[in-house]
Amino acid sequence: MSSFTQLYGSAAYNSVWSTQLSNSLTVGTILGQLIIGYICDVKGRKWGIVLSTVLIVIGIILCTAAHGANGSFHGFLWMFTIARGITGLGVGGEYPSSSTSAAEAANERMLKNRGPVFILVTNLVLSFGSPFACILYLIVFQAAGGLSANLSTVWGTVFGISAVPPFIVFYFRLKMLNSTLYRKGAIQHDVPYLLIVRYYWKSLIGTAGAWFLYDFIVFPNGVCGLNSALTYVEANSAAVSGVIISSIVKAKGHELIRKMAEYQLLLGIIALPGCFVGAALVNRLGRRNTMILGFSGYLIFGLAVGLAYNKVIKNVTGFVVLYGLMNSFANAGPGVSLPNTGLSHGPHIRKPAADAKR
């Protein structure tokens, strides 16, 4: 049950609208990866990063201000859909621009420790987004009246506040320079994509395939940051963890939403240490062995939850702990080692490789 369903009823806000809102962000993200990724090649990483930030801020502001003509609910949903699509363009653009910039900066300044540094400024920050979003939501929820809170006020305020972090970093992104590696090695005109595919097709298929399998399993399980944290706030499609928790928590209405956010916060916190473990192991064990270790732990805890599901769901705390440890192994292994594979490509292929992996 989403807050939109509680506010407007399942007849007005049905599965069609829920799917449309969810897909708008996904489609925008895919387009953002391709469009802004191309801009990163021909104009530079700075152009891509700045454009991504602008789109995210504009999209969030439009989400916050979404309103239908003459109070039309369907008009509101259409504006919300478009606003989320714009946000998705910016989010998608962050993948090729930010990760590539971080990889090149780590290559330049901290060559021996580029792997751990890259992990700490990318995957760790991304993983921190989920608990941060839950904390923000719980604070706003309580400030708005707790169990008697107006949910429209809550989700609108959460969206508005979420525009602040990208707005703050916008100044620093304007001042940044393209990396030395990009300025020396980039091919800005007549990029030989066919030649790139010819020489790198094996590594691209391997890394892109691994990313696909990883995301295919992990994203529905609720490791997608804001999407899982605010499942019941911004009317996203429910992540697997959210669905399970909502089915075993003995609460309804506002109380269910609050408990959902609390348990999602616990899930996010338990998963965070995996990033530090991965950063500590990636140089010692190597990317491949770190990935294997993470996948192995993910498999073990996943099987434990699945095989003992009927017993596990009787104890919501136990389920959350096991699920959180499973996510922690995902962060420690493939979550930190797969992005690092982009460091092995040259500047002319690094951005397309980043796109392919996502």
Write the secondary structure of 104-139 as one string of H (helix), E (strand) and C (coil).
Answer: HHHHHHCCCCHHHHHHHHCHHHHHHHHHHHHHHHHH
| pLDDT given at position 1 | 41
Instruction: Give me the residue spans of the domains in the chain.
Output: 3-179+192-357
Here the tokens at position 175 are 């001042």
Give the pLDDT band (50/70/90) at residue 45. Answer: confident
Q: Top-level CATH class of 3-179+192-357?
A: mainly alpha
Q: What is the mean pLDDT of residues 175-188?
A: 73
Distance CA 87, CA 236 (A): 14
Q: What is the mean pLDDT of residues 277-301?
A: 90
Distance CA 179, CA 210 (A): 28
The distance of Cα 331 from the centroid of its chain, to the nearest Å, equals: 13
Give the pLDDT band (50/70/90) at residue 58. Answer: very high
In degrees, to the nearest 5, what angle opens at C-alpha 344 toward C-alphas 51 and 352? 35
Q: Which residue type does 321 have?
A: V
Residue 240: what are its φ and ψ, rounded to 5°? -55, -45
| pLDDT given at position 239 | 53
Q: What is the mean pLDDT of residues 131-157?
A: 87
Instruction: Give the model confidence (pLDDT) of 313-353 as tens digits.
Output: 888 888 888 888 998 998 898 888 777 665 555 555 555 55
| pLDDT given at position 347 | 55
CB 147 within 8 A of CB 255: yes
Considering only the C-alpha atoms of the chain, give the largest distance between any 2 of them, rounded to a whole number of Å: 62
Q: What is the mean pLDDT of residues 52-58?
A: 94
Distances (CA, A) of 347 to 124, 197, 209: 24, 15, 21
With tokens 């090149």, the residue in question is 104
| pLDDT given at position 223 | 39
Q: What is the mean pLDDT of residues 197-205?
A: 82
Give the pLDDT band (50/70/90) at residue 73. Answer: confident
Of 108 and 139, the one with more pLDDT: 139
CB 318 within 8 A of CB 353: no
Distance CA 135, CA 273 (A): 18
Instruction: Give the model confidence (pLDDT) of 205-224 as tens digits.
Output: 887 888 888 878 776 665 33
| pLDDT given at position 87 | 93
Of 107 and 258, the one with more pLDDT: 258
Give the pLDDT band (50/70/90) at residue 241. Answer: low
